[in-house]
């Protein structure tokens, strides 16, 4: 059945933009009533019958700025669901808000701690302290059992042993999921400019690589399954929502800049709140770009997304001539790629440089 399996709602507002963030958001006065009306209007325009989404994810931006009324209005329109995640900034955590969200059906919180180092938080443009982060985590865990935490490694001034200490410390708490992201310096972000001006210095790549592989081992020792390049979970608590992305199943995105995918068709909304609003007020879907994937392009997309998972992809997705090519044989021999039991997956050496390995594989198709 060609139906959506996941719903994503993008909240485009933040108190302030973090130095490294390239997601669409605006530091402006939040008009929650306006956003709620627009998102519900978009859902209605798409199809009033699209009311069953196994997973729902509120991301941003900063969805934790919104009141429980916003989430209740959306969830009341989307039927039954097995996983509902809300991203939270530590500074927005209150016991009252958490309990109210739980009552209306939210059952998973993703807490953006990012770091337990005052120095790193400051360099990333985060305002909370390590103590604030841990206090927020304790509050979330007092209400929710399914809690994910985000940590960043490879940040300016960060040493390998520092992120390992943070991973060790954060997993002393009964969290179920950890996303461990390498800091990416995106063009047109304040961080990029600071690095170019040599006002901030990034760690050497070898130190970042060491951080990643040693953190992977710590998390395995702590009982976490490494199920995706940057994601780790207690068994059974993998992100159901994100698995739909990586397996390239159908998903629907609502809100400014939100992306959707259905049967090979990809589309994205305007990354501009005013244009998003104007379009919906005219009774039109706020789509800025559309692209259809089919044939070889669709296969390449499935390979690119699927190889992010440590279980890899079915071998039959890749032609035998590609697997037998010199460049792919070299990737396998050197441990960057593995082929076994009817599947193709990244080897241990390939995890840290996944984009390069996947690119080399695709060039052999």
Residues of the chain with CATH 3.20.20.70: 6-245
Residue where the block lists tokens 């669409």: 24
Count of residues making up the chain = 365
Residue 244: per-residue pLDDT: 97
pLDDT of residue 280: 97
Exposure letters 28-46 (e unless 16+ CB within 10 A, then b):
eebeeeebbebbbbbbeee
Give the CATH number of domain 6-245: 3.20.20.70
Q: What is the pLDDT of residue 190?
A: 61
Give the pLDDT score at 2.
65
pLDDT value of residue 182: 87
What's residue 61's pLDDT? Answer: 85
Which pLDDT belongs to residue 333?
97
Q: Where does the chain show beta strands of DSSP type E?
A: 6-11, 55-60, 83-88, 108-114, 147-153, 177-182, 225-228, 231-233, 251-254, 259-262, 265-269, 287-292, 313-314, 337-340, 343-346
| Per CATH, domain 296-363 is 1.10.10 | yes
Q: Where in the chain is the domain with CATH 1.10.10?
A: 296-363
How does pLDDT run across 197-244, given as a tens digit for each residue?
676 777 788 999 999 999 999 999 999 999 999 999 999 999 999 999
pTM of the model: 0.93
d(CA 290, CA 268): 7
DSSP string, 268-307: EE-SSHHHHHHHHHTT---EEEEEE--THHHHHHHHHHHT
Q: Identify the pLDDT of residue 267.
A: 97
Task: Give the pLDDT score at 21.
Answer: 57
pLDDT at residue number 12: 87
Which residues are within 8 A (CB) of 365 and not within 5 positions of it... i.e. 6 or more apart?
296, 299, 300, 318, 319, 322
Listed as ranges, residues in the chain with pLDDT below 70 are 1-2, 16-30, 48-51, 185-186, 189-192, 194-195, 197, 199
pLDDT attached to residue 193: 72
């Amino acid at each position: 059945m060609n139906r959506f399996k996941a719903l994503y709602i993008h909240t485009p507002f933040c108190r302030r933009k973090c130095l490294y963030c390239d997601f669409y958001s605006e530091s402006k006065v939040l008009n929650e009533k306006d956003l709620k009306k627009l998102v519900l209007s978009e859902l209605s325009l798409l199809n009033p019958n699209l009311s069953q989404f196994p997973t729902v994810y509120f991301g941003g931006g900063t969805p934790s700025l919104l009141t429980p009324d916003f989430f209740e209005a959306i969830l009341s329109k989307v039927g039954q669901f097995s996983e509902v995640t809300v991203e939270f900034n530590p500074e927005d955590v209150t016991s009252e808000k958490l309990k109210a969200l739980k009552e209306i059906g939210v059952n998973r919180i993703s807490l953006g701690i990012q770091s337990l180092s005052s120095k790193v938080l400051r360099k990333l443009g985060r305002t909370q302290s390590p103590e604030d982060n841990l206090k927020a985590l304790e509050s979330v865990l007092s209400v929710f059992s399914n809690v994910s935490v985000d940590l960043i490694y490879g940040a300016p001034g960060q040493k390998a042993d520092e992120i390992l200490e943070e991973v060790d410390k954060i997993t002393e708490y009964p969290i179920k999921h950890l996303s461990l992201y390498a800091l990416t310096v995106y063009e047109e972000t304040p961080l990029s400019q600071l690095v170019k001006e040599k006002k901030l210095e990034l760690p050497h790549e070898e130190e970042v690589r060491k951080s990643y592989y040693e953190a992977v081992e710590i998390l395995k020792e702590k009982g976490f399954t490494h199920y995706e390049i940057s994601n780790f979970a207690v068994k059974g608590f993998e992100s159901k929502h994100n698995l739909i992305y990586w397996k390239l199943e159908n998903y629907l995105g609502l809100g400014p800049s939100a992306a959707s995918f259905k049967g090979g068709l990809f589309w994205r909304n305007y990354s501009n709140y005013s244009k998003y609003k104007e379009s919906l007020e005219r009774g039109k879907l706020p789509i800025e770009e559309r692209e259809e994937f089919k044939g070889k392009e669709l296969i390449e997309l499935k390979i690119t997304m699927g190889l992010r998972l440590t279980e890899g992809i079915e071998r039959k997705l890749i032609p035998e001539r590609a697997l037998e090519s010199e460049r792919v044989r070299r990737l396998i021999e050197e441990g960057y790629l593995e082929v076994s039991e009817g599947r193709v997956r990244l080897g241990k050496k390939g995890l840290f440089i996944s984009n390069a390995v996947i690119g080399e594989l695709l060039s052999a198709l």
